[in-house]
Amino acid sequence: MNPQRTDAGAPAHEVDPVDRADAGERSAVASARRPFLLIGGGIALVVVLAILPLLAIDLPGVLPGPTYTPGTLQLLAYAMLIAALALSYRMMFGLAGLLSFGHALFFAAGAYGLGMTLDAFAPVSWPSELIFVGSIAVTLVLGIVLAATVGSLALRVTGISFAMVTLAFAQAGSVLIRRNPGGTTGGDEGLSLDIDHVPDALVGVVNTRNLYWLALGVLVFVYLVVLWVERSRAGRVAEAVRENELRVRVIGLRPYTVKLLVFIVASVLAAIAGMGYLLLQSGASPRIATADFTLTLLVIVVLGGVGYRWGAIVGGIVYTLLDQRLTALAGSDLIAGLPAVLRVPLSEPLFILGTLFILVVLFLPGGIAGIPQRMSTGRKQHPAETEEAADA
Amino acid sequence: MSTLLLLIITGLGLGALYFLVASGLSLIYGLMGVLNFAHGSFLTISAFLGWEVGRRVSDGTWAGLAISAVVGMLVGAVVAAATEYLLIRRLYERHIEQALVTVGLALASVALFEGIWGTDPIYTQKPEWLGQTTEILGAKIPNDRFLLIACAALVLGGIVLFLQRTRYGLIIRAGVENRSMVTALGIDVRRSFTIVFAIGGAAAGLGGVLASVYYGYVSAHLGSVLLIFAFIVTVIGGLGSLTGAAIASVLVAVLQQFANYYLGGTGDLVVVIALAAVLLVRPRGLMGKVA
């Protein structure tokens, strides 16, 4: 499932010098070094991403402009928030095997929650910083309460029924947002961010750079939490529940508690990504609460590769960039000149993404992140897939 | 009294629409374990093609509507069977992937429909009688509700007859009950998968044409809206149970109408709460088999 998992438990720095003389010395050293290489690579990647706004890298066709321009930074920040959200979704779907159709609810809860609390605090004459931090705290608490409520109810059923209950709750949330109760959610037009109490550094096109760093921070934070949960004992139990729930019960563990924990953590992470989204977009649209948005997340996670943590990140970034670039392509002269048979499908980004998704599911079960392993082992199927096929 | 009757009959009409979508979903899930997200797309494409053919032959007449219905059913059946044959069959026994493929198909097809027919609803013509109302016990009831109820009843009767009286129906019923046993007896259940998809697609296709009469327009999102309610109906009724789907469609739609009228347009929310309640009290649904 996870390429790093085998190394995870290896006590890298505790390798006895005497043991190194053994025949297995080389492989032991190699496997002890790998985590450091990965951690080093990860830190290097984050540093590169962090200094990106200070550079002028131009990738024609991939990015709309040089990396220091607000437009590009906005797009990249959005991609990273979506990646963070996809990462939290992967924790539920990939780690614990919980196919939820309601993840968008928590993302929307974060975005709308923060926006509405800021509105609610607007008349209060406290210092702005206090109100901003206070609103974030209130939203987090709301997110935890919502996640615990929905999770404890939905997890009483499993499989498709679980998917349906989560879908139902998300649908209820979506309907509520569109109904615009008491004029608080803005209905179909969406909610715009009240910037009175938002720190100046996070407002305006000039400060897109700060929002970009904020998004990067959210992504790194979500990644670390997901890593921590996956490596924890609860994470292992969640993984075991995915593979064989009955056996976990027989051993004497309670799957419900663990699944609820994973559900709550993933949902709160989604709410955090949602808050980042509100600040980045200076508002929230009802689209982010719909079932379609959750389906998009599912597409992202599967496109990137369910078996890999970084698959969700790659999927999120690739999807967002593709979506944006394909929209740009759809409006280009190149497409407009084509005959209708080609022009109509090619001018619909979702059509291309949907088709791509079908092809990935059919022919590339490991997703994008599974490609290196498929090439190195030459296996036609990802190892995780064979198990799923067997117990179906 | 007249309001009550109006709400009940309108609810029945809407329930008929839900049933046309949910019957196929429920059969497909019961036999194959596939949650078909593309079912809404079958409905939408049938509605569009039925409307395109119907309006060219004779717009806004009974003949035109009949042709639309026939075309819709044919298109639904063919598209559904092709989906099963080309996409679902390749992923035999891998339920999550099968559901994912239908998700992809739903996303891609809705985008394609938007590309071809635009994002705005296209208003349709219907026979004059369907736009009028009939007075029953003081309640003025729109006539198209009767058409919907009659069609759904015919479809329900037809599917029940097919399942009870034909050899394929026997295999399908046995397959829903215990698929491995049927396979062990030397019967190729997979052949009936295509048939179930075709039946479900035809029902959804008819539903699409009728939905365009009910709502008065066709749009690329016609299917997605109905699909969510059909899912709810299917789960409340019990996955795999046709009778359950029929009962649940009526219950859900009538409940929705009552909530919309008496509780200030909260029909959608009430339905969702009903789903949560049913799943918590009786997770297998009203008529579902024990999991």
Domain total for chain A?
Answer: 2
Q: Give me the residue from A157, A175, A392 closest to B93, CB to CB.
A: A392
| Nearest Cα residue to A220 out of A354, A28, A42, A370 | A42
| Nearest Cα residue to A2 out of A103, A100, A91, A98 | A91
Dist. CA A240–CA A248, nearest whole Å? 7
Task: Indicate the SS3 state at residue A203.
Answer: coil
Please indicate whether, in this complex, the C-beta atoms of A354 and B96 are within 8 angstroms of each other: no
B158 and chain A: CB distance < 8 Å anywhere? no
* One domain, residues A107 and A124: yes
* One domain, residues A244 and A119: yes
Is A336 a domain residue? no
* One domain, residues A163 and A312: yes
| Nearest Cα residue to B100 out of A327, A245, A367 | A367
Determine which helix (DSSP H) or strand (DSSP E) holds A363, and give its type and residue range. Answer: helix A349-363
Is A239 a domain residue? yes
* One domain, residues A43 and A173: no
Dist. CA A319–CA A303, nearest whole Å? 8
| Nearest Cα residue to B239 out of B197, B204, B277, B282 | B282
Is A1 a domain residue? no
Is A188 a domain residue? yes
B220 and chain A: CB distance < 8 Å anywhere? no
Please write the tens of the pLDDT for every residue from B190-214: 888 888 899 999 999 999 999 998 8
Q: Determine which of A158, A165, A243, A256 to mutate to test the interface with B (most B C-beta atoms within 10 Å).
A: A165
**Terminal-to-terminal C-alpha distance of chain B:** 42
CA–CA min distance B283, chain A (Å): 7
Q: Which pLDDT value is given to residue A271? A: 94
Q: Are the CB atoms for B65 and B47 separated by under 8 Å?
A: no
* One domain, residues A45 and A59: no
Task: Return the beta strands (E) in chain B as ranges.
Answer: 122-123, 133-136, 139-142, 217-218
* One domain, residues A27 and A61: no
| Nearest Cα residue to A167 out of B149, B5, B47, B233 | B233
CA A28 to chain centre: 34
Q: Which pLDDT value is given to residue A16? A: 43
Nearest CA in chain B to A294: B103
* One domain, residues A39 and A115: no
- Judging contacts by C-beta atoms under 8 Å, the chain A residues touching residue B273 are 172
Contacts of A104 (CB under 8 A, 6+ apart): A170, A174, A288, A289, A290, A291, A293, A294, A297
Dist. CA A353–CA A285, nearest whole Å? 22
A341 backbone φψ class: left, alpha, beta (φ>0; ψ -120 to 50)? alpha
What letter would DSSP give residue B34?
A: -
CATH value at residue A190? 1.10.3470
Pair of tokens at residue B52? 């395109």
- Judging contacts by C-beta atoms under 8 Å, the chain A residues touching residue B29 are 160
| Nearest Cα residue to A314 out of A79, A97, A38, A92 | A79
Task: Indicate the SS3 state at residue B223.
Answer: helix
Task: Give mean pLDDT in consecutive 10-residue pieces for chain A, a chain of 392 residues.
Answer: 40 42 51 74 83 78 77 88 93 87 92 89 79 90 93 83 82 83 78 79 79 91 92 88 88 89 94 92 86 86 83 88 81 72 77 86 81 69 43 37
Q: Are the CB atoms for A349 and A326 separated by under 8 Å?
A: yes
Per the DSSP assignment, residues forming a β-bridge with B217 are: B123
Contacts of B289 (CB under 8 A, 6+ apart): B177, B238, B240, B241
Q: Which B residues 165-184 touch A at CB under 8 Å? A: none
Contacts of A203 (CB under 8 A, 6+ apart): A195, A282
Q: How far is CA B204 from CA B127, B151, B230, B238, in A?
A: 22, 12, 11, 19
Q: What is the ipTM of this complex?
A: 0.82
* One domain, residues A180 and A232: yes
Is A390 a domain residue? no
Contacts of A27 (CB under 8 A, 6+ apart): none
Dist. CA A99–CA A102, nearest whole Å? 9
Determine which helix (DSSP H) or strand (DSSP E) holds B251, and give its type and residue range. Answer: helix B242-262
Dist. CA B268–CA B235, nearest whole Å? 16
Task: Return the beta strands (E) in chain A as ranges.
Answer: 191-192, 283-284
* One domain, residues A14 and A157: no
CA A389 to chain centre: 26
Q: Residue A173 sits in which domain range?
A: 55-331+341-385
Is A234 a domain residue? yes
Is A2 a domain residue? no
* One domain, residues A162 and A260: yes
* One domain, residues A140 and A191: yes
Could you give phi then psi for residue A10, rounded to 5 degrees?
Answer: -70, 115
Dist. CA A273–CA A80, nearest whole Å? 9
Nearest CA in chain A to B103: A295
Pair of tokens at residue A30? 């190699």
Is A32 a domain residue? yes
Task: Supply the pTM of this predicted model.
Answer: 0.81
Q: Are the CB atoms for B246 and B237 separated by under 8 Å?
A: yes
Hey, what amino acid is at A368? I
Residue with tokens 């969406």: A190
| SS percent in chain B: helix, strand, coil, step 5 | 80, 5, 20
Query: Which residues of chain B are modeled with pLDDT < 70?
Result: 289-291
Dist. CA A358–CA A217, nearest whole Å? 33
Pair of tokens at residue A29? 């050293």
Per the DSSP assignment, residues forming a β-bridge with B136 are: B139
Please indicate whether, in this complex, the C-beta atoms of B275 and A165 are within 8 angstroms of each other: yes
Q: Which pLDDT value is given to residue B290? A: 54
Q: Which pLDDT value is given to residue A144? A: 95
Task: Return the beta strands (E) in A227-316 as ranges.
Answer: 283-284
Q: Are the CB atoms for A107 and A332 separated by under 8 Å?
A: no
Q: Which pLDDT value is given to residue A28? A: 54
Neighbours of A196 (CB within 10 A): 13
* One domain, residues A75 and A29: no
Instruction: Report the length, in residues, of chain A.
Output: 392
CA–CA min distance B94, chain A (Å): 5
